Amino acid sequence: MKNLILFLKGVAMGAANVIPGVSGGTVAFITGIYERLINALKNIDLEAVKLLFSGSFRDFALKIDLSFLVILFLGVFVSILSLAKVLEIAFEQYEILTLSFFFGLIIASVIAVSRQIQSVSITVVISFIVGAAIAIGIAFLPPAQPNDSFIYLTLCGVVAVCSMILPGLSGSYILLLMGNYVLVLKAISSLDVNVLIPVALGCFVGLILLSRLLAYLFRKFKDATIAVLSGFVAGSLLIIWPWKATIMEEFAGKEKAVGYIWEMPQIDLQFAYSIFLIVIGFLLVYWMERKSLKPE
């Protein structure tokens, strides 16, 4: 049963990638596996590589929590191939209703995760505000101009993978803001190694460094770290707000959101459905919490 639940959490992480403003990190955070995921990634180091190539596969598997990573990412992979497409269609055809459900889910998630804070202090409150301010600020940033220098492409890789790990921040959206979404998209389709190598290097470096940093912060400053991440998730509500007009631009034949115009809802039947779905999303997280789907 535990493996099935973990698999389903991976499915949810994969599906979240098609919803603007929701990242896989957000789902990992609100379903209670975030800290374990960070620690597993942190343990992928030179020692782990030596264990693998020396034939000590059991020790290697225990060190990086291999069974956990395999089951989780299997769920992510299956979701991207199946459920994510369903959610993408739902988002395209029923945008307001779909966002309403996620809006309720995230409101409850912020409350549920914030309960992990053991002691509220000025530092914790400030940490929450800083996290929320960063997430909100990102929503208002205009896209930068493309830059194909090796250093900047490496930095894009670092920032993109960091935003994928950090709850509330979309990796592709951050890449778009940095101006290199089109460049990287074309490089993937044409296998342009001059672009892909520095980006991949940045992703690897970012993954290793951020996982270690977050593991350290959880160990030394757990309450403040949870507060910052809760702020990230709370700030993402601005992008998830159902009643907004999305400013779209075409990039390499695909439309991508580059900004939003926030609006107030009209009081009609759709509004009633939206409120219903917000409540359903909220109650779903509440139910998960009551069922003790907490950090393992």
Question: Could you report the per-residue pLDDT of 234-257, keeping only the tens digit for each?
Answer: 887 887 788 987 776 665 565 666
pLDDT at 1 (0 to 100): 72
User: Is 70 exceeded by the pLDDT of residue 60?
Assistant: yes
Band of the pLDDT at 126, cuts 50, 70, 90? very high
Please check whether residue 151 lies inside any domain of the structure: yes
Q: What is the mean pLDDT of residues 180-186?
A: 75
Please check whether residue 284 lies inside any domain of the structure: yes
Query: pTM higher than 0.75, yes or no?
Result: no
Tokens of 64: 């990086």
Q: What is the mean pLDDT of residues 162-188?
A: 71
Please check whether residue 113 lies inside any domain of the structure: yes
- Split into its structural domains, the chain has a count of 1
In one-letter notation, the amino acid at residue 95 is E
User: Is 60 exceeded by the pLDDT of residue 19?
Assistant: no
Please check whether residue 296 lies inside any domain of the structure: no
User: Is 60 exceeded by the pLDDT of residue 165?
Assistant: yes
Q: What is the mean pLDDT of residues 214-221?
A: 84
Please check whether residue 208 lies inside any domain of the structure: yes
Please check whether residue 276 lies inside any domain of the structure: yes
User: Is 60 exceeded by the pLDDT of residue 47?
Assistant: yes
Q: What is the mean pLDDT of residues 1-29?
A: 74
The backbone region for 263, taken as left when phi is positive above 0, alpha when psi lies in -120 to 50, beta otherwise, is beta
The count of C-alpha atoms lying within 13 angstroms of the C-alpha of 174, restricted to the half-sphere facing its C-beta, is 24
Band of the pLDDT at 163, cuts 50, 70, 90? low
**Range in 39-53, 91-105, 155-169, 222-236 with the lowest mean pLDDT:** 155-169
Q: What is the mean pLDDT of residues 90-101?
A: 83
Pairwise pLDDT comparison (142 vs 212), residue with the higher score: 212
Report the chain's mean pLDDT, rounded to a whole number.
Answer: 80
Please check whether residue 295 lies inside any domain of the structure: no
The residue to which tokens 């009209």 are assigned:
266
Percent pLDDT > 70 in the chain is 82
Q: What are phi and psi of 154, to 5 degrees?
A: -65, -45
Pairwise pLDDT comparison (88 vs 214), residue with the higher score: 214
Q: Which of 49, 101, 40, 47 is nearest to 280 (CA)?
A: 101
User: Is 50 exceeded by the pLDDT of residue 195?
Assistant: yes
Please check whether residue 159 lies inside any domain of the structure: yes
**Range in 78-82, 165-169, 209-213 with the lowest mean pLDDT:** 165-169
Q: What is the mean pLDDT of residues 27-50?
A: 83
pLDDT at 5 (0 to 100): 85
* Residue 162 belongs to domain spanning: 2-290
- What value, to the nearest 5°, has the Cα angle with vertex 79 and ends 14 and 251? 60
Label the pairing between strands 244-251 and 254-262: antiparallel
